[in-house]
Amino acid sequence: MTTAALPRRGADTVPAPTTPAAVPVASGSVPVAPAAVPTTPPATASARLVGSLTRAQQITAGVIVVAALVLSGIGLYLSFEHVAEFAHDRLRFQSLDKARLFTVGVDVGILVLIALDLLLAWLRRPVGWIRYPVWLLTGATVVLNAASAAPPEGAWQRMDYVAGFAHGVVPLLFIVVVEVGKTGVDRIVRSTADEAAGRVPLHRWFLAPVPTFALWRRMRLWDVPTYAEGVQRDQDLRVYRVMLERRYGRNWRTKAPADIRLPLTMAPYGLTIDEALALPREAEEREAALREAKQEAQAAADARAAERAAQARITALRTTGAVSAVEHEVNAATQQAAIAAQAGLVATERAAEVEAQALETAAAAEAEARRAAAEQRAAADRETAAETEQRAVGTERAAAEERERVAGILAREAAATRRAAEDKRAAQQAEKDAAEAERAAAETRLLVAGIERRAVEAEDEARLTPRERAVRKVARLALARTGGDVEALPLEDVADALGVSTSTASERRREAAALLATGYQPDAS
């Protein structure tokens, strides 16, 4: 953000007068932080410098490299025989071949260390202590070359010193050339990386040492990549503190809400104003997601409990129907047996009475009458048995109807279960469709955010005025919400997006309509 901005707390907060520093709504999106200052990629910085050399400069550099290689070859050649013979004669190597291997090892070690030092400097990964072994080995070579020219016996003469110096001057010259080359490579690599490394200018340390130390400390603690970004963060914090004092007075530390003081609270921990203001919203989103997960888990548990209860009720109904049917069958059979037994007992008793009466009386008429009466009673008994049988048939029919009723209940329960399963599948499909719609909306928001960011970067490069930026922002808002119809865009949305009054928003909307009429597109801004 170019200027610090305070989020509003709600309807009870007194709005500040319209100023160039827009006041974002707390429930809305947090202003997007400015894009990081572009830095030169490490892999292409040196290549860009080399490519910027003229033809003559490139030829000169090539000649210098070839001359350095020739110098190294001359030094190796001159020192090889002298040092090998000196090592064999004076340093007690058993054979000349071993002395030569010793000389080759020292020279190759120097070359390998020099090559590693140059390569690491070129890759911007220098190791400072490598040069010390190089200096040590080169010094050893110089001493050995000078010692090879020493007189075998007697005191040193003036020419002996000159000969010792002559034997050691070429290796010494070679190491000087290598050091100059290494320094040149290091400067070439670091020439475009000083700003990216976040180096604080020296004059700032003299002009404002205490604030500069605080700025440098924050940059080192929280890996601020560039000095410009560190200065921008410091400016944003200072402006934000002034805006807080302007809004809440001198006692803003006690009057301002904790959420609004978050940028100043989190600044010692490396967070920018936008990142600090986004912390409460991120915490609320995490809590909302946790609540939704708990609600979904509770709903799933309730659904499983309801399903188990329905299954238990279906099982109970099936058991009750089966028991009722068996009871009806047993009752019907029992009633039929009782009726038959009663009819047989009655017939036996009446027959015994008839026979007793026949024995007691001799009158055939009476016996005939009694037999007729017995037959009538038997007919009545048969009618009674028939009625009892009919009642048994009715009972059986009622039992069959009860079984049909139970079967209908079971069928309705099964249909209800199928409907519940279909509703569950439909709900799952609806959730899946909602998730797809949400993902598509997120992709759309991401695309719109990318367009907005590119438009802002283009405006920064074009160095547009705040008014021109506001007009282009209204135009992009109309393209995103109403398809380019600026008049259909609510005036309140324009005022909220720009943080200005309604009259100013109306003027910016008219200018945005004129801009869209000229064929303005966000990607071409």
Domain residue spans of the chain? 42-190, 202-271, 316-445, 464-524
Dist. CA 488–CA 465, nearest whole Å: 26
Dist. CA 2–CA 524, nearest whole Å: 23
CA dihedral sign, ordered 132, 133, 136, 139 = negative
Q: Which residue has the tokens 């604030």?
A: 211
Instruction: Give the DSSP letter of residue 270.
Output: T
Asked if 113 and 130 touch (Cβ cutoff 8 Å), the reply is: yes
Q: What is the pLDDT of residue 8?
A: 43
Question: Looking at the DSSP assignment, which residues form a beta bridge with residue 25?
Answer: 8
CA dihedral sign, ordered 166, 168, 170, 175 = negative
Residues 6+ apart with CB under 8 A from 366: 357
Instruction: Give the DSSP letter of residue 15.
Output: P
Q: What is the pLDDT of residue 18?
A: 35
Q: Is 25 helix (H, G, I), strand (E, B) or coil?
A: strand
Asked if 332 and 392 touch (Cβ cutoff 8 Å), the reply is: yes
Cα–Cα distances in Å, from 271 out to 39, 224, 235, 268, 492? 21, 10, 14, 8, 32
Question: Looking at the DSSP assignment, which residues form a beta bridge with residue 8?
Answer: 25
What dihedral do alpha carbons 465, 468, 469, 470 form, nearest 10°?
120
Q: What is the pLDDT of residue 40?
A: 43
pLDDT beneath 70, residues of the chain: 1-52, 152-157, 160, 182, 185-198, 351-352, 354-365, 367, 444, 448, 523-525
Give the other-Cβ count within 10 Å of 38's Cβ.
8
Of the candidates 465, 478, 524, the one whose C-alpha atom is nearest the C-alpha of residue 505 is 478
Element (H, E) at 302: helix 273-360
What digits encode the pLDDT tens for the residues 390-421? 887 888 788 788 888 888 888 888 888 888 88
Dist. CA 198–CA 224, nearest whole Å: 7
Q: What is the pLDDT of residue 117?
A: 81
Of the candidates 309, 304, 315, 292, the one whose C-alpha atom is nearest the C-alpha of residue 424 is 304
Asked if 23 and 6 touch (Cβ cutoff 8 Å), the reply is: yes
Structure tokens at 12: 């009870």
Dist. CA 68–CA 487, nearest whole Å: 74
Query: At 81, which amino acid appears?
Result: E
Q: Which residue has the tokens 């074009």?
A: 462
Q: What is the pLDDT of residue 475?
A: 83
Structure tokens at 454: 């590119």
pTM score of the predicted model: 0.31
Of the candidates 103, 105, 109, the one whose C-alpha atom is nearest the C-alpha of residue 84 is 103
Structure tokens at 78: 């001159």
Cα–Cα distances in Å, from 15 out to 136, 155, 444, 449? 72, 97, 32, 27
Asked if 346 and 378 touch (Cβ cutoff 8 Å), the reply is: no
